[in-house]
Structure formats: structure tokens, C-alpha cells
Structure 1
Amino acid sequence: MAAFAEGTPCWVDAQLPDLEAGKRFYGELFGWTFDAVTGEARVGGRRAAGLVPKRDGRMPTTWTVYLATPDAGALAARIRAAGGQMVMEPYPVGPYGVVALAADPGGAVFGLRQGGDLDDGLQTEMEPGSFCWMEVYTREKDAVDTFYAAVFGYVAQDLTEGSLDYRVWSPPGSRPGDDTAFGGRAVITEAFPAEMPGHVLVYFAVADCDAACEATVRMGGRITNAPFDTPHGRIAVLTDNQGARFAVLAEPEEEPAKARAKEPTKEGDKAGGGGSRAEDDAETAEKSAEKPDDMT
């Protein structure tokens, strides 16, 4: 079973009120097929995401990213000690491992996932229809930066450009840069609605950003932030027809998204595309702040 470095994304799922409607929506949007036994979404036969029924109406309709760990119980203790909270304590899911939900000091919720004998999480990233990036938005920058450094030991690369403050994360022990980064932290500024809470935004790769936006609207979803270009691709933030928010990224034609099975090797460096990954992600956060059309 392939291993994920602790603290790196290893799974994503969405809690939806209508599971079958979710399968129709994302099946058309991302070309997903669904395993007849587990219901997991697949891209080219490889595990890409999960859609699960929302059993408690008080829970949000949302996408959740799960961070890998070899010991969910020990990680939960570190989270509490560092000022985070456990939303849902670790619990076993049979041969599929152990899962939990936690919140950082800024209120952003993320999952923990301890792999089991029959499940090694994501089997594809970066190709169309697959997870490609995570982004933590917060109003508590200092507390949140200290939290992720203490709990996961992330290697940080900061970008400060004018009033913009963005931090890119790489796994512990790695060299910070485009070839190792898996996510980032953005600050919720006054440009965002005052009621917007800390949250995690999940990104999926697509072949055509504008086509993904058109399909989303056609199927009853909404465009939260209209498509805009960055040095490494075209990005939009969308909301599905049940209220779950996510982002899509279409890489430039000369740099097509590549399938990345979970192996020791990492995605190739993209610095030649006209700017660093940090600059790209900072622009994403800045654009989201400029046009916060929808908060769902």
C-alpha cells in the first residue's frame, strides 16, 4: 500500500443531502464513475473522491479534505495541545481505517484519515476530475500558522505582495517549492464578507475551466468566483446544486495536468510557466477576495 506523508491530503469527500443527485452532478461535471460496492468516485478506474449522505441536517453541505496520519489518536492529542479542537473523535471504519474531523484555531474544519488494510486513499491527483490543491482561509493568521507548524511540521514558503499574505505548505523534510507544495493558507481580509468563517477550499483539476462553469450552472449550481487566469492555469470557485463549494483549475494547454498516482515521486516543477506556484496561489486568494459573490 502506497504511503502518504503525515499531514498531506490523502482523501476528499462531500456530505450531500441527496446522494444520487450528487452522483449525477459530479458524474457529468468531472466524468466520474462510481464503484458499485463502495460508491467511491473513480477517474479511469482509480479512486478520486467520495460522496456520502449527510445524516445530520445541522452539518454543513461541504467538501472535506482528509490529512494522512499513521495514528489518528496521537494526532488528535497533538491537535488539542496546539489549540485546535476535535469536531469528531477518531472512530474506526472497519478495514478502511480510522477517520476523524478537527478544526484549527481559526475554525477551518479538516479531516484525519488513518489508512486501513483495504484502502490507501486517493489513487489519482492532478489529472482532470481529480483533487489538485487545498487552501485554508483564516482570520487568525498567527495562531493558524503556529498550529500547522506545531501539529504537522509543514515547511512554509511565504509570499507577501502588497497587502496580500499567503503561505504555501510542503511536507516535513522536503524542499519548499512548486514540486513539493500541496496546499496553502490565505488570510480572510476586509474584502471578504464579514460573516465568512475560516474554511478549507478543495480544488479539482479540469480540462476546461469555462466549460466546467457552464456545466455547473446548467445543472443548477452557481459560479461563486468567475474564471480568471493565473500563470499556471485558469481558476474558478463554484457551488454545486446542493450547496457544496469547491474550486476548479485548468492548467494551460502547454502544461496539461498529469495523473499522479501516490508514489514516492512528486509532480514536476512548474516554475517555467511564467511565475512560481506561490505567486499563482496568492493571485487565487486575491481574486477570491475581489469577487466574493457567494458564500455557500
Structure 2
Amino acid sequence: MTTEAATRRMSGAPCWVSLMAHSLSATQEFYGALFDWEFRPGPQHLGPYARAFINGREVAGLGELAPDRQLPGAWTTYLASDDADATAEQIRCCGGTVGVGPLDADDAGRMAIAVDPQGAVFGIRQGRTMTGTAAVGEPGTPVWNELVTQETRAVGPFYENVFGYTSQAVVSADFDYLTLYLDGQAVAGIHGVGQALPQDRGAHWMTYFAVPDTDTAARRVVELGGQVLHAPRDSAHGRLAVAADSEGAVFTLVQPAA
């Protein structure tokens, strides 16, 4: 499940995750206590923003929504691009929408926010000196990104055409999943959940964060004012729990399989 650091730099690979929240200070307090993150100011081109660090290495970003934006807080997965402007044009040509940018973001490079044909929001990022998540596979770091949508066949071709993925499908009577590959390396997944797709969020990208013990982390989420939406369970990739932070932004905890 873990995407190695070198793979994260490949065009099309998830390279960064960022959360837009209503209270930056409260969100820093929640994730700092949950994942032992430290924070430093980041680029302010879209408003207050901080970068999260583990042992001096960048792992994620936290931004604050403008007071008049009544949007729910949510994590955004950014996919690497060698040319953000060309990727943005390809997104439009393949039926997606570019809502923000491309624009320059200091050392973070050139970025844009887009929406796929099924309504899931994602980012693209053309890095400069700061190329993306620096710590990989450690507790508190993002280790997998997965699109949760109604069905894989409705959106899989869009991502394949825009980012050049090859894919491998797992489709059965009760499971619809597409693993996306770059140069033979699994970099992300698409999970079709049918009518189980949450109506309040619709299609969305899910970020998986590594933890030493999923059950302990799930209890800590509740102590910090969050919720456990799906209780810890075992899977082929480790022990998982779906949680929401103190503002309702959803993410997954994973204790990777040994």
C-alpha cells in the first residue's frame, strides 16, 4: 500500500495531501495531538496555510477557509505533474473541470484544483524546490490515496487518459476496485461503492495515514473531539478505521500489515 518516496515524484503519482478547515488553530491542535505533527507557516496565496512536519520533514498541508466559505472541511489529494498547465488542459479535454489555477505557489511550485467527471475534487502539483511529501511510510504520514466513487468504469478512463495510468481491475458481485499503476508501481486506487456512496460527500479522494496501532489511534480521535465512522477492522493491507476530525473532515487510519 505504501507509495515510496521516489514514486511520489513521478508524474501522476499522489505527491501531497492538504486539508482545508474552518479553524486552522483547532485543526493543528487535533492533528498535532493525533499524529505528533509540528507546524510551520506555508505559502499564503489562498489564505492562512501551514505545513505539517515529522522529524523535520514535510508530510501534509493545512489551510483555512475564508469565513464566508460554508464548505465542509476535506482532505485533497494532489497528483504530481511535469507541466501543470498541460495537465489542466488535458483535464478539461477529458471531461473534468479546473476550478482554481494553475497558479504559482512559492516553492511548492505550480498547482491547480480540479474536479473529475463524477464530482471528486483533486489537485495537481508541479513541484519546484518543494516536491511533495518528504517522509513516507512512517506513523503519521500518508501511505495511500484512494478515490471513492459510485463505479470505477465511470471515471477510471478519465484518470488513465489524463495521467497515463495502467490499471488492474478487481470486479466481483460485491467488490469494484481499480488499482492504478505507473511504471509497474501501484500508486493509487479507485473504489466503486455503488449506492453506499455518502450523499453528503459524494465522490471523493480518501487519504490513508499510517499509525502504529489503529485501535489506539481510533480511541484518540474520539478523545480529541473527532468521530470513528467505521470501527477498526482487518484487511489484506493492515488494520483500518475510517475517522473524521473535529470539523468532520474524513480520513482513514491504517496500521500496515507486517
Distance 1:85 1:232, change over 3 A: same
Distance (whole Å) between structure 1 residues aligned to residue 31 and residue 107 of structure 2: 27
Percent identity among equivalent residues? 39
Q: Which residue of 2 aligns with 1:122?
A: 133
> Which residue is equivalent to 1:33?
38
CA distance in 1, matches of 2:80, 2:218: 31
- Report what 1:227 is aligned to: 232
Q: Which residue in the other structure is 2:223 paired with?
A: 218
The SS at the match of 2:155 is helix
Q: Which residue does 1:64 correspond to in 2?
A: 76
Match of 2:242 in 1: 237
What is the match of residue 47 of structure 2? none
Where do 5+ consecutive residues of structure 1 fail to align? 256-296
Q: Which range is displaced more, 132-141 or 30-39?
A: 30-39
Asked if the contact 2:176/2:193 (under 8 Å) is kept, the reply is: no
Q: CA deviation at 1:196?
A: 4.8
Matched, 1:46 2:51: no
2:46 aligns with: none
Alpha-carbon contact 2:244-2:250 (below 8 Å) kept = yes
1:113 aligned to which of 113, 125, 131: 125
What displacement does 1:192 show?
4.1
User: Residue 81 in 1 paired to residue 93 in 2?
Assistant: yes
The Cα offsets for residues 177-205 of structure 1, whole Å up to 9 and x where unpaired, read as: xxx21210111312445555111111111
Contact preservation (8 Å) 2:105, 2:111: yes
Count of aligned pairs: 245
Q: Is the 8 A contact 1:138 1:185 kept in 2?
A: yes
- Map 1:1-296 → 2, pairs under 5 A: 4-35=9-40, 39-55=50-66, 56-116=68-128, 118-139=129-150, 141-171=152-182, 174-175=183-184, 180-194=185-199, 196-252=201-257, 255=258
Where does structure 2 lack aligned partners over 5 or more consecutive residues? 1-5, 44-49
Residues 237 and 247 of structure 1 are in contact (CA less than 8 Å); yes or no, is this contact kept in structure 2? yes
Structure 1 or 2: more strand by fraction: 2
Separation (CA, whole Å) in 2 of partners of 1:166 and 1:63: 21
Pair 233,214 (structure 1): closer, same or farther in 2 beyond 3 Å: same
With the length of structure 2 as denominator, give the TM-score of the two structures: 0.89
CA RMSD in angstroms, aligned pairs only? 1.7
Give, in whole Å, the separation in 2 of the partners of 1:193 and 1:47: 31
Assess, with a 3 A threshold, how the Cα gap between structure 1 residues 196 and 53 changes in structure 2: closer, same or farther. closer
Contact 2:242 2:252 (8 Å CA) reproduced: yes
Whether the aligned pair in 2 keeps the contact of 1:99 and 1:113 (CA below 8 Å) is yes
**Deviations for 1:84-128, whole angstroms, at most 9, x for unmatched residues?**
111212111133311111111111110011112x31211012210
Distance 1:193 1:49, change over 3 A: closer
- Aligned partner of 1:282 in structure 2 is none
**In the TM superposition, what whole-angstrom CA distance separates every residue of 1:192-237 from its partner, at most 9, and x where no partner exists?**
4555511111111111101111111011100111110013310011
